[in-house]
Chain A
Amino acid sequence: MALTILKPGILDTVQDLGRTGFRQFGVNPGGAADASAVRVLNTLLGNDEGDAVVEMHFPSAEIVFGEETTFAVGGADAEISLDGESFPLWASVRARSGAVLKIGKRLAGSRIYLAVKGGIDVDEWLGSRSTNTFARAGGFEGRALKTGDRLAIGKSDLNNRSPLGAKAGPGLIAGCSPRGTIRITIGPEYHQLTARAVRDLSKGTFAATMDSNRMGLRLEGPRLTRLTETELVSSAVSPGTIQLLPDGSPVILLADCQTTGGYPRIAQVASRDLSAVAQTSPGEKLRFRIIDLQEALDLHRRFEKDLSFLRMGIRFRALFGS
């Protein structure tokens, strides 16, 4: 009745789409770093979009299925196998009881997700199943997974004719992959940048550094300077906020970021491209393109629309067979 961790990866945690309503108390939303990937995978399985999944980094965990399970893997691109046989990413697949899932070499991206039909069943903490490692709460005992941990699988409320073989379209998948150019809108402190920094932000190339993690993607590239030395009083930040650190390097905040920060918010990643940021690995390069708020909103809406088409297709298959 469960998944068991045979061998843990470097950082495997139970995540969902995060918690809302508690930022005012300093509790960040948390949740999957690549939330779009989780939404697509859950949709493929006929789950609620926000059902809990296992988020893995590389090297990833080795997991055994304790019961026949319909599941899907996606996010990063990697060599994956079930009982030694490779199977497609971004598609619903069935595992027999006792089957072993191995996630091998990373090909692209930096985080990979295992979603199971019915979702990972752990207790909610403040309305979410995501792991908050700071408070050591939520997810599985508030911590990263270890050898022998058993994760229960929730009951699926969709009928038993599960949408086996359902696949996500290339548009949805491409949106959940690293991309060279990240679209951003200007942030509240953008106008504090010097003319040179403004130019470097849109023309320069930045590389992700080794000290990137779930809190943020640290970048190195042209040093960006401000017109003013004024210290800022701490104000809100959220995943996708690009802060300028005192040494002139930018950091793109991710799911585990704080709720407030005192560094200038020079830009905000269009939420459609947050997935691509979360899938960027240390050493990889990226550039920024400034778009207006309307374009960011249009991208956001297009993704919601694509996802709702996928959802309708899956329901149709579940009702009438594939």
Chain B
Amino acid sequence: MSPELPKFEIKPLGEDCAIIDLGNEIDEAINDRAIAIAQAIEESPFEGFIECAPAYSSVAVYYDPCRLGGFGFSAVRSQIDIVVRSSSVFEPGEGRHHTIPVLFGNEHGPDLEEAAERNGLDTKEFIDTFVSTTYRVYILGFLPGFPYMGKVDDQIATPRRGNPRTRVAAGSVGIAGSQTGIYPFDSPGGWQIIGRTSYKVFDVSSKDPSRFKPGDTVRFSPDDLM
């Protein structure tokens, strides 16, 4: 057993889900570990396993408790405990890199000016800062295929809107605190919308519909005139 094994806890979320908690933190190494553990469990599923999903610093493992010979959570815990304890040697698969063209400002990014002003920048400085970072996709959630990406430079981090919009257009690129994300569909939403992309985030006609996977990297580029 590795002496430098980071701390973790396995907790139940009801009688049919176990949460592997790796620490309440947004951190690339921890997220890598969550992704690797999820992959390892999927590659050698235990009896009764249904699916698992990595989050920022945790993994949810869903199972059918009627297929565990009477022990339920404790049986699952011992199975996944072994996986987590050997996870320091796992390497998550290499993420894909995406370059995403964005039309910034105006009708495409109705919150750009205000977000820039709030941070004491002009819109050009704001955009330059935004596109100079390579972002990491930590998790997919909120809507099918919605990538939660980070980390946005402190100079342009902007809190969510006080009054969420009832409709944010599909392809909208938003900022919420130090996170950035892309809306896959028209939906209500409270993120600060700074631009829009034609990049298809989620393709409902595909068997593998999500363009992003946790661990992918993303770079935005200004598409055209502002």
Instruction: Enumerate chain A interface residues (CB-CB to B < 8 A).
Output: 20-28, 125-126, 132, 134-137, 142, 185, 187-188, 230, 232-238, 240-241, 258-260, 265, 268-271, 293-294, 296-297, 300-301, 304
Contact = CB atoms under 8 A, between A and B. Distances in A.
A271 B66 contact: no
A140 to B, nearest CB: 15
A24 B53 contact: yes
A212 to B, nearest CB: 17
B15 A260 contact: no
A17 to B, nearest CB: 12
A136 B145 CA distance: 13
Contact of B140 (A25, A132, A185): A25
Contacts of A236: 13, 17, 19, 53, 55, 58, 60
B11 A188 contact: yes
B62 interface: yes
A134 B144 contact: yes
Nearest to B59: A236
B52 A24 contact: yes
Interface string B37-58: 0100000000000111111111
B143 A268 contact: no
B24 interface: yes
B150 to A, nearest CB: 11
B64 to A, nearest CB: 10
Interface in B106-154: 139-146, 148
**Range class of the B interface residue count:** 35 or more
Given A258-B141, A268-B14, A23 B202 contact: no
A78 to B, nearest CB: 30
Interface string B194-226: 000000001010010110011000000000000
Contacts of A301: 65-66
A300 B187 CA distance: 35
Given A236-B58, A238-B17, A24 B24 contact: no
Contacts of A21: 51
B25 interface: yes
A22 B60 CA distance: 12
A207 to B, nearest CB: 23
B191 interface: no
B12 interface: yes
A268 B141 CA distance: 20
A86 to B, nearest CB: 37
A187 B60 CA distance: 13
A304 B66 contact: yes
25 contacts: A20-B62, A22-B144, A24-B38, A24-B52, A27-B145, A126-B207, A134-B187, A135-B204, A185-B15, A187-B13, A188-B11, A233-B58, A234-B56, A234-B148, A235-B21, A235-B56, A236-B55, A238-B17, A238-B60, A240-B14, A258-B142, A259-B53, A271-B15, A271-B16, A297-B72
Nearest to A135: B144
A235 B204 contact: no
B72 A134 contact: no
A312 to B, nearest CB: 16
B163 to A, nearest CB: 16
Contacts of B143: 26, 134-135, 258
Contacts of B15: 185, 270-271, 293, 296-297, 300
B185 A134 contact: yes
Nearest to B11: A188
B54 A126 contact: no
B104 interface: no
Q: Which of B13, B202, B214 counts the most chain A CB atoms within 10 A?
A: B13
Contacts of A185: 12, 14-15
Given A26-B140, A233-B24, A294-B72, A136 B185 contact: yes
Given A25-B210, A234-B56, A235-B19, A271 B14 contact: yes
A294 to B, nearest CB: 7
Contacts of B142: 26, 258, 260
Nearest to B30: A233
Interface in B1-38: 11-17, 19, 21, 24-26, 38
B204 A136 contact: yes
A269 B73 CA distance: 15
B46 to A, nearest CB: 16
